[in-house]
Amino acid sequence: MSPRTIDLDVDLNLDRSRCVLCGGPNACVMERRARGETVEEPCWCVARVFPASVKAKANERDGGASCLCERCLDAAAVEEGR
């Protein structure tokens, strides 16, 4: 078996409060907590299903480092018929 390589070229200066697909605000609770905000509620995304196609697009853009916004996730779900 040949070893697999993983591309770890991720821009660490990304604004993770922005959607990786459209650039709009993503309302990511995890990002807000990382900035030091005290947020009690869970992130909006924890109860959502992410279609494989949208995960692939996000990973293509930034290695999956940033969250999507609800609008882009909703659009992806409509495209996949969910």
User: Strand, coil or helix: what is 18?
Assistant: strand
Of 72, 63, 52, 75, the C-alpha closest to 6 is 63
The whole-number pLDDT of residue 82 equals: 60
Q: What is the pLDDT of residues 27-53, one digit of tens each?
A: 999 889 988 999 999 999 999 999 998
* Mean pLDDT estimate for the chain: 83
pLDDT > 80? residue 10: no
- 31: Cβ contacts below 8 Å, ≥ 6 apart: 16, 17, 67
Does 29 or 1 have the greater pLDDT score? Answer: 29
Does 63 or 24 have the greater pLDDT score? Answer: 24
The structure's pTM equals 0.73
